[in-house]
Amino acid sequence: MKTIFSLVLALLLAACSNTPKPVQNTNVMILLDDSGGALPAGSLASNRLVNRLSDELQAAGLDVYDDVVLHLDDFGGRQEQSDKAMLLDKVRSYKSVAIDYAIILTLDASFSSHVSGGRVATRVYGQIIAVQSGKVMGSVEAKGRKISTAKDCQRPCLVNAASDSLSGIAAEIAAQILMDIPGEKVTSQRSSIGNIDELDDFSDANRADYKLIFEGFSRRELSAIEEYLVIFSGYAMHRFVSSNEDYAEIDYQSDITEARLSRNLNRMLDELNKEAVMKLSGKRVTITKSSKPKFDVDGWE
């Protein structure tokens, strides 16, 4: 009898030891660095982007916490304008929940006028930082589409245009963030532009067919762009489908995700000192050259 009891007890202990531990979700918080003339946190445009971005990250399985709610719960009172150092210090001090990663973003906007009307341009850039260690996990950068406005567009009109421009790139920013957070759906394939010695181990099973369309670029500029396309991580092959003086359509095969390709293309444009608007639609990427806007957002709300 004692032997049987010991056997049953041993089996129960073995079953308990093999029971998988519950998986702890990743806690993230989106924070806005609104120092230095950036769009202020709490503005209509900022709130719209943060809300859309939160939805994208939650849909991917992350637990997204609201900075405003936690601040009121733990400290009370209003938040003041904050830079990156202040934001990190604050998120580390929260007692009600432990935040794993801080997503610190800066939102810029500009307005330019011309004879027929005006145009609002936006840009988002920032970092993903492991809260406790301070390690920078990665960076994000994206440009919203330019919004045309009336020539006499006043502040409410400008704010609505900036809001529309920013909210349209929430999915692109979320994809970049997910690449840099360990264990999430999109895994990082880190390889800097121009360093072909750090290419990842890709396979034909992951290969994707992209359509790259460049509008407004000269033949000389397209030649410089082609030099970058062949050294992107995951590059397989490319072929010009059509081209003329200021237009090119390229079939491009690669093993990287849309978000990684978008980031590489943005880096390429920065290195070439070219300003352009990028539009992603599935595997189709349209890049339209434009003049560089002057970023000046003093007084925006």
Q: What angle do CA 36, 158, 66 make, to 5 degrees?
A: 60
Model confidence pTM above 0.75: no
| Torsions phi, psi for 128 (to 5 deg) | -105, 120
Under 8 Å between Cβ of 221 and 227? no
Chain segment 157-189, per-residue pLDDT in tens: 888 888 888 888 888 888 889 888 886 443 333
Mean pLDDT of 263-286: 87
Q: Which amino acid is at 105?
A: L
pLDDT in tens, 130-140: 988 888 888 88
User: What's the pLDDT band for 128 if we cut at 50, 70, 90?
Assistant: very high
State the Cα angle at 20 between 16 and 23, rounded to 5°. Answer: 140
Highest mean pLDDT pick, 16-30, 76-90, 265-279, 283-297: 265-279
Question: 30 CB contacts (<8 Å, ≥6 apart)?
Answer: 50, 53, 54, 57, 64, 67, 103, 105
Measured CA to CA in angstroms, residue 149 lies from 109, 145, 277 at distances of 14, 13, 17
Q: Rounded to a whole number, what is the distance in angstroms from the first to the last CA of the chain?
A: 78
Average pLDDT, the chain: 77
With contact defined as beta carbons under 8 Å apart, do 260 and 179 qualify? yes
Q: Which helix (H) or strand (E) holds 67?
A: helix 67-74
Residue 92 CB neighbour total at 10 angstroms? 13
The residue ranking higher by pLDDT, 99 or 75, is 99
Burial of 217 (C-beta count, 10 Å sphere; 0-12/13-18/19+): buried
> Element (H or E) spanning 209, and its range?
strand 208-215
Question: What pLDDT is stored for residue 24 in this prediction?
Answer: 58
